Structure 1
Amino acid sequence: MYDRLFSPIQIRGLELKNRVVLPAMGTRMAGEKGEITPRLVAYHAARAAGGCGLNIVEVAAVHTPSAPAHFVSISDDSLIGGHKKLTDAIHQSGGKAAIQLWQGSIATTFDPRAEMLVVNDMEFAGKKLKAITTDRIQEIVECYGKAAARCAEAGYDCLEFHCAHNYLPHSFLSGGLNHRTDEYGGSFENRSRFPLECIRAIRNAIPEEMPLFMRIDAHDDYLPGGLTIEEIIEFCRIAGENGVDVLDVSRGNIITAGSVYEVPPIDIPRGFNVENAARIRRETKMATIAVGRINTAEQAEAILEEDKADMVVMGRAQLADPEFCNKAREGRTEDIIHCVGCNQGCYDGFCDLRNRPFITCLRNPCLGHEEEWKLTKAETPKRVYIAGGGMAGLEAARVLLMRGHHPVIFEAGDRLGGQFITAGQAPGKEEMKQAAISFGRLVERSGAEVRFHTPLTPEIITEEKPDAVIAAVGSAPIELKLPGSEKKMVCQAHAVLEHEVEPEGSVCVIGGGLVGLEAADALAAAGHPVKVLEMKDTAGEDLGMLRKIAVMQKLGGESVGIITSARCLEIIETGVVVETPEGKETVACDSVVLAVGSASRDSSALKEASEKAGADFFVIGDAKRARRAIDAIAEGFETARQV
Structure 2
Amino acid sequence: MTSLFTPLALRSLSIPNRVWMAAMCQYSAAPDGDAVGEPTDWHFAHLAARAAGGTGLIITEATAVSPEGRISPYDLGIWNDTQAAAFRRITAFLKTQGSVPAIQLAHAGRKASTERTWVDRGRPIAPDEGHGWTPVAPSAVAFSEKSTTPVELTREQIGEVVRQFADAARRALAAGFEVVEIHGAHGYLVHQFLSPFSNHRTDEYGGSFEGRIRFALEVVDAVRAVWPDDLPVLFRVSATDWLEENPEDDRAGWTADDTVRLAKELQAHGVDLLDVSTGGNVPDAKVVAGPGYQVPFAERVRRETGMPTAAVGMITEPVQAQGILAAGQADAALLARELLRDPYWARRAARELGGEVASPVQYHRA
State the TM-score, normalized to the length of structure 1: 0.49
Distance 2:147 2:93 in 1: 42
Q: Does 1:176 align with 2:197?
A: yes
**Shift of residue 273, structure 1, vs aligned partner:** 1.3
Distance 1:56 1:81 in 2: 17
Distance 1:211 1:258 in 2: 33
Q: Does the Cα contact within 8 Å between 1:145 and 1:198 map onto a contact in 2?
A: yes
Distance 2:281 2:213 in 1: 20
Residue deviations 1:41-84, cap 9 Å, x none? Answer: 11000001101000000110001233332211111112111111
Distance 1:3 1:326 in 2: 18
Q: Secondary structure at the match of 1:330?
A: helix
Q: Secondary structure at the match of 2:349?
A: helix
**CA 1:299/1:121 → structure 2, altered by over 3 Å: closer, same or farther?**
same
Q: Does 1:330 align with 2:357?
A: no
Distance 1:127 1:220 in 2: 21
Of 252, 259, 267, the residue aligned with 1:232 is 259
- Structure-2 residue corresponding to 1:5: 4
- Structure-2 residue corresponding to 1:209: 230
Q: Does 1:241 align with 2:274?
A: no
Superposition pairs of residues 135-534 of structure 1, within 5 angstroms: 135-222=156-243, 224-258=251-285, 268-331=289-352
Q: Does the Cα contact within 8 Å between 2:22 and 2:58 map onto a contact in 1?
A: yes
1:248 partner letter: D
Q: Secondary structure at the match of 1:220?
A: coil
2:3 partner letter: R
Q: Does 1:74 align with 2:78?
A: yes
**Shift of residue 185, structure 1, vs aligned partner:** 0.8
Distance 2:68 2:279 in 1: 26
Q: Does 1:61 align with 2:64?
A: yes
- Structure-2 residue corresponding to 1:85: 89
**CA 1:28/1:127 → structure 2, altered by over 3 Å: closer, same or farther?**
closer
Of 138, 141, 159, the residue aligned with 1:122 is 141
**Shift of residue 332, structure 1, vs aligned partner:** 8.4
Q: Does the Cα contact within 8 Å between 1:66 and 1:115 map onto a contact in 2?
A: no
Q: Secondary structure at the match of 2:234?
A: strand
2:53 partner letter: G
Q: Secondary structure at the match of 2:180?
A: strand
Q: What is the number of residues matched between the two proteins?
A: 326
Distance 2:353 2:320 in 1: 16
List structure 1 runs of 4+ shifted beyond 6 angstroms.
none
Q: Secondary structure at the match of 1:99?
A: strand
Residue deviations 1:79-133, cap 9 Å, x none? Answer: 1111111111211233111000100012213153244111112245353433111
1:232 partner letter: T
Distance 1:126 1:203 in 2: 33
Q: Does the Cα contact within 8 Å between 2:69 and 2:106 map onto a contact in 1?
A: no
2:96 partner letter: Q
| Structure 1 unaligned regions, length at least 5 | 262-267, 334-643
Distance 2:339 2:286 in 1: 22
Residue deviations 1:464-523, cap 9 Å, x none? Answer: xxxxxxxxxxxxxxxxxxxxxxxxxxxxxxxxxxxxxxxxxxxxxxxxxxxxxxxxxxxx
**CA 1:61/1:94 → structure 2, altered by over 3 Å: closer, same or farther?**
same
Q: Does the Cα contact within 8 Å between 1:221 and 1:253 map onto a contact in 2?
A: no
1:94 partner letter: G
- Structure-2 residue corresponding to 1:107: 111
- Structure-2 residue corresponding to 1:21: 20
Residue deviations 1:277-328, cap 9 Å, x none? Answer: 1111111111100111110000000111111110011121211111111122
Q: Does the Cα contact within 8 Å between 1:220 and 1:252 map onto a contact in 2?
A: yes
Distance 1:332 1:66 in 2: 41
Distance 1:332 1:175 in 2: 44
Residue deviations 1:535-591, cap 9 Å, x none? Answer: xxxxxxxxxxxxxxxxxxxxxxxxxxxxxxxxxxxxxxxxxxxxxxxxxxxxxxxxx
| Structure 2 unaligned regions, length at least 5 | 116-124, 126-131, 245-250, 355-366
Q: Does the Cα contact within 8 Å between 2:135 and 2:148 map onto a contact in 1?
A: no
Distance 2:134 2:166 in 1: 20
**Shift of residue 192, structure 1, vs aligned partner:** 0.9
Q: Does the Cα contact within 8 Å between 2:140 and 2:152 map onto a contact in 1?
A: yes
1:12 partner letter: R
Question: Looking at CA atoms only, which structure, 1 or 2, has the larger radius of gyration?
Answer: 1
Q: Does the Cα contact within 8 Å between 2:310 and 2:332 map onto a contact in 1?
A: yes
1:34 partner letter: G
Residue deviations 1:584-606, cap 9 Å, x none? Answer: xxxxxxxxxxxxxxxxxxxxxxx
Q: Does the Cα contact within 8 Å between 2:64 and 2:75 map onto a contact in 1?
A: yes
Q: Secondary structure at the match of 1:122?
A: coil
**CA 1:279/1:4 → structure 2, altered by over 3 Å: closer, same or farther?**
same
- Structure-2 residue corresponding to 1:620: none
Query: What is the RMSD computed on CA atoms of the aligned residues?
Result: 1.8
Which of structures 1 and 2 has the larger relative contact order (alpha carbons within 8 angstroms, sep 6+)?
Answer: 2
1:104 partner letter: A
Q: Does 1:47 align with 2:50?
A: yes
Q: Does 1:38 align with 2:37?
A: no
**Shift of residue 145, structure 1, vs aligned partner:** 0.3
1:44 partner letter: L
State the TM-score, normalized to the length of structure 2: 0.85
Residue deviations 1:396-422, cap 9 Å, x none? Answer: xxxxxxxxxxxxxxxxxxxxxxxxxxx
1:86 partner letter: I
- Structure-2 residue corresponding to 1:404: none
Distance 2:14 2:69 in 1: 34
